[in-house]
Homo-oligomer: A and B are copies of this chain.
Amino acid sequence: MENTPGRDPLVQPRLTRAWYVAATSDELKKGPLQRIIHEVPVVLFRGADGSPGALLDRCPHRSVPLSFGEVIEGKLQCGYHGWAFSAAGRCVAVPGLVGEADKDSRSCRAFPVREQQGMIWVWTDLEHAPDSEPFRFPYADNRDYLTVRQTLEAPAGVHAVAENALDVPHTSFLHGGLFRTDKDRSEITCVVQRWGDRVEAEYIGEARPEGVVGRILSPSGGVVTHFDRFRLPSIVEVEYRIGDENHIHLNGALTPVSDHVTKLYAVVSVRTRVPTWLVRPIVQPIALHIFGQDRVVLKLQTESVHRFGEISFVSTEIDLLGPHILRLLRQAERGDSEKTDSQSYRREVKMLV
């Protein structure tokens, strides 16, 4: 991963013309909620009709975070002097002032917001209106699937977290035994394809993973279909089909808190013959354990990158997706993304798994 000349090598690609999950619907209750995206504080609150608003979290008056205040009849009221704002950011009250409160200079910047599928999405570019709608989780509303959600936070940037989430080779080591093992490897073929807005790896000839998770989800085995995908700006996807009956679909919507901290809103949908009351209590703790191991290594990676003052990565051909994810992020940041639907890359790679 070469560094761009003249640029702080630790600054990550920043895509602000994008939708990110700011919170789950459950998290936004009566009071305001502060979230940080790209180091910018955003305050979420529910207006009079219950729909969410998102403002820059700074009162124009004396710079106190509005998230310190209260929501009164759908207006967000600053806790210092009581200035109040609508979900659109208009100043509707300056207590003590004789005259009209609403002036342009007293308004607060408002971010476009969408609430769908239990997630509150914020469009983080204050200068440009949205040119798209937020990602939809394909199986989250499907009643044939058990869907589990989990919010996680990792001490690493979007690129490092996305690569980690979609990387097969590390699973045998870091998570040895839980998912894959380092013994009895066999050679498979991986097909990597990149389009203007996404990259995908398909794994052909893979046996059912021999670790604990594979055995629980698919005790009878069968033909395995496995895809890993990344979509701009920050959606990761892992999809397994094992035999006819088992389908495991994992999505993660990544939100850049800062260059080196990422939130991951995971939505895992499973269709299996194994009873859901059996799947959930066993698979969730294991998944959290796996994520805990990944968090440790991502933290070490971030600390190392800071200590050395550079991102110095040497890749091999089995680093299937990481380099492509970085390429997509950088293209998008420059605004010269290739056409969404035209394929720009296809390659087959052998790997021992």
| A contact residues vs B (CB 8 Å cutoff) | 39, 41, 58, 60-65, 68, 78-82, 94-98, 105-106, 168-170, 172-174, 182, 185, 187, 297, 300-301, 303-305, 307-308, 311-318, 350-353
- Return A126 CB to nearest CB of chain B, in Å: 13
A64 touches B98 (CB 8 A): no
Partner of A314, one of B39, B60, B82: B60
Partner of A58, one of B58, B97, B308: B308
- Return A107 CB to nearest CB of chain B, in Å: 10
Instruction: List chain B residues, Cβ under 8 A from A81.
Output: 169-170, 173-174
- Return A353 CB to nearest CB of chain B, in Å: 7
B65 touches A300 (CB 8 A): yes
CA of A312 to CA of B187, assembled, Å: 61
CA of A173 to CA of B185, assembled, Å: 67
B352 touches A63 (CB 8 A): no
Instruction: List chain B residues, Cβ under 8 A from A307.
Output: 39, 41
B58 touches A312 (CB 8 A): yes
- Return A281 CB to nearest CB of chain B, in Å: 29
Given A41-B307, A79-B297, A300-B64, decide whether A316 and B94 contact each other with a Cβ distance below 8 A. Answer: yes
Instruction: List chain B residues, Cβ under 8 A from A68.
Output: 297, 300
Partner of A80, one of B39, B62, B82, B170: B170
A61 touches B351 (CB 8 A): no
CA of A308 to CA of B60, assembled, Å: 12
Identical copies of this chain, number: 3
CA of A81 to CA of B106, assembled, Å: 53
CA of A173 to CA of B96, assembled, Å: 11
Given A61-B314, A95-B169, A169-B96, decide whether A297 and B80 contact each other with a Cβ distance below 8 A. Answer: yes
A352 touches B64 (CB 8 A): no
A65 touches B98 (CB 8 A): no
Instruction: List chain B residues, Cβ under 8 A from A58.
Output: 304, 308, 312
Instruction: List chain B residues, Cβ under 8 A from A303.
Output: 65
A311 touches B63 (CB 8 A): yes
Given A82-B172, A174-B79, A297-B68, decide whether A96 and B352 contact each other with a Cβ distance below 8 A. Answer: yes
A318 touches B97 (CB 8 A): yes
Partner of A353, one of B61, B79, B96, B352: B96
B316 touches A173 (CB 8 A): no
A95 touches B63 (CB 8 A): no
Instruction: List chain B residues, Cβ under 8 A from A352.
Output: 95-98
- Return A308 CB to nearest CB of chain B, in Å: 6
CA of A78 to CA of B300, assembled, Å: 12
Partner of A351, one of B96, B308, B351: B96
Partner of A313, one of B61, B173, B308, B318: B61
- Return A197 CB to nearest CB of chain B, in Å: 25
A63 touches B182 (CB 8 A): no
CA of A307 to CA of B93, assembled, Å: 26
Q: A68-B300, A97-B317 are in contact. List 5 more A-B contacts (CB 8 A).
A: A63-B304, A64-B300, A65-B300, A95-B169, A97-B318
A174 touches B80 (CB 8 A): yes
Instruction: List chain B residues, Cβ under 8 A from A315.
Output: 61
- Return A76 CB to nearest CB of chain B, in Å: 14
